[in-house]
Structure 1
Amino acid sequence: MLAMNGAIYDIPPKDCAAEGILWLIDDGGYRPGDRLPPERELCERIGVSRTALRSAIAVLVSRGVLESRQGSGTYLRPAKPVNVFQNTYSFSSVVRAAGLVPSSRTIYAKTVSADSVAARELAVEEGSPLFELQRVRSAGGEPVSIETTRVDIVRFPGLDAFDFDAHGLFDVLREEYGVDFVHGFERISITRLNGREAELMGVEEGAPALFQRSRSSTADRVPVESCRAVLLPGGYRFASNGAYDGLALHVGEDWLRSL
């Protein structure tokens, strides 16, 4: 039962079962790849029916928390990286917070001329030189996104000399150029992978994906980086820090893991 404003609501059995499974995982110290107890034992320990348990497992499988293996049982899947809207930490830090190892593969790094969209996003003149970097980003050895990033090369001379397979772009901008990222803006839509994207990600052409447009700025609202990314929906989770007007807030790793 859940009480709100004096009224009492019944919590659906599958939701009770799902919360029970998550509690059991946390309380039992289960790690990615561990097998959960058999259904009968889970029902007894959580106090739910087998029907509710199976519905809850299906929900958690769809969320990428669990994996059902035919004839073997139910297993805890590795955590997914969490992209928190408004926050501007790097891909690598997000992946490490999920307990996974980040890696990148550069597709190309080149100088391009700012078109009208990029000029507006980065507050430069149309035709100005920009550093454009495209990478396949992986978590735990599995590709999760293709990112195409643009930065004002005039403001950050020498940026094109770094090896971005070995160094994160945000890390370089912070450590080498003293950039303090404070504001972040994102827009998410649905798309399907074209042939080139599918080949880079190792999936079938036409597979559903998320398309993300983002921009990161300093405390005084000076834009630093604009990015376009296609992301595999099974490789990410998304959340909001609840801040107003794109303000980045500190988000603890424990909270990221709990989502």
Structure 2
Amino acid sequence: MSVMSSGIPPKDRAQEGILWHIKSEGLKGGDRLMPERELAEKLGVSRTALRAAIMQLISTHVLESRQGSGTYVLPPKPINIFQETYNFSEAVRRAGREPGSVLVYARLIEADGDLADRTGLVVGAPLFEMRRVRFADDEPVAIETAYVNYAICPGIEAHDFAVESLYDVLAGEYDVHVGHGEERISIARATADEASLLRVEEGSPVFFERALECQADGVPVEYLKAVILPSRYRFASNGCENGSRLKEVKSAWLTW
């Protein structure tokens, strides 16, 4: 491949070339890139531009450098596309990885004033509260605290959410399906407890997500708070109306 110049900065041309090379060669997480000299020749870019592009892709967690060994492709990050109704396990599987969870706690509580406001339920309404650390393969990705409307799923606390999917249980046992939702995402820093669960340093940047998921008729299903590692999970928009998905081929650009 010879990357056309057409006024594109050399580093950007090299970066696009590397991503093209990964895709065209079918490289997966853990595969090593060819030596810099050979890759620069193949892409038609300078080694200076190639090194700058590799550093950029390392900073965005597409590649990693292993001293004395070379540059390796990292596994693709799961992605939440705002307009599409996803659960975590589905997003991880779509990235070709295996979802997992560690249950921190699960209990029945009553909605206080804040939770009542956020869920649209009344103060004192029963909620099933559950906190889990979510994994992609063996990497912790997020800490999720879910508050589920207990009125639509009585007895749900009997399930073992260390191994079961919340949304699978809601659909299979209670015929409860999420029809639409609202999400808010901001940037925060991991507390000491969060950092310990996510295996990162205290103060590491994280996404902080709040979401309210409802049935098609507007009945609230789940209010979610999540602390998510940007290095291991992504968010994107597909440009469609809510609930609409792009065809698989059209969303291939989201691979990395």
Which residue number in structure 2 is paired with residue 248 of structure 1? 243
Deviates more, 1:34-43 or 1:203-212: 203-212
Q: What is the aligned length?
A: 250
Instruction: Indicate if the aligned counterparts of 2:190 and 2:203 stay in contact, CA closer than 8 A.
Output: yes
Corresponding position: 1:143 with 2:140: yes
**What is the Cα deviation at residue 252 of structure 1?**
5.2
1:75 to 72, 75, 81: 72
Deviates more, 1:69-78 or 1:134-143: 69-78
Can you list the C-alpha shifts for 1:108-166, whole angstroms capped at 9, x where unaligned? 11111112232233221111111101001111111111100001112211111111111
Give the TM-score, by structure 2 length. Answer: 0.91
Deviates more, 1:202-211 or 1:95-104: 202-211
Question: Structure 2 CA distance, aligned partners of 1:20 and 1:140?
Answer: 28
Corresponding position: 1:187 with 2:181: no
Q: 3-state SS of the aligned residue for 1:233?
A: coil
Can you list the C-alpha shifts for 1:206-248, whole angstroms capped at 9, x where unaligned? 222111111112222322111001111211111013244xx22
Question: Structure 1 CA distance, aligned partners of 2:151 and 2:214?
Answer: 16
Q: 1:107 to 1:253 in 2, by over 3 A?
A: farther
Q: Which amino acid aligns with 1:167?
A: E
2:93 to 93, 96, 105: 96
Question: Structure 2 CA distance, aligned partners of 1:221 and 1:152?
Answer: 12
Which residue number in structure 2 is paired with residue 3 of structure 1? none
Can you list the C-alpha shifts for 1:21-44, whole angstroms capped at 9, x where unaligned? 111111112121111111111111
Which residue number in structure 2 is paired with residue 236 of structure 1? 233
Which residue number in structure 2 is paired with residue 41 of structure 1? 38
Which residue number in structure 1 is paired with residue 201 of structure 2? 204
Which residue number in structure 1 is paired with residue 149 of structure 2? 152
Question: Structure 2 CA distance, aligned partners of 1:224 and 1:87?
Answer: 16
Q: 1:19 to 1:72 in 2, by over 3 A?
A: same
Which residue number in structure 2 is paired with residue 19 of structure 1? 16
Corresponding position: 1:110 with 2:107: yes
Instruction: Indicate if the aligned counterparts of 2:76 and 2:255 stay in contact, CA closer than 8 A.
Output: no
**What is the Cα deviation at residue 174 of structure 1?**
1.4
Give the TM-score, by structure 1 length. Answer: 0.90
Question: Structure 1 CA distance, aligned partners of 2:144 and 2:198?
Answer: 12
**What is the Cα deviation at residue 188 of structure 1?**
1.1
Corresponding position: 1:213 with 2:214: no
Corresponding position: 1:62 with 2:59: yes
Instruction: Indicate if the aligned counterparts of 2:149 and 2:220 stay in contact, CA closer than 8 A.
Output: no
5+ unaligned residues in a row in structure 1: which ranges? 1-8
Q: 3-state SS of the aligned residue for 1:181?
A: coil
State the percentage of identical aligned residues. 53
Instruction: Indicate if the aligned counterparts of 1:97 and 1:253 stay in contact, CA closer than 8 A.
Output: no
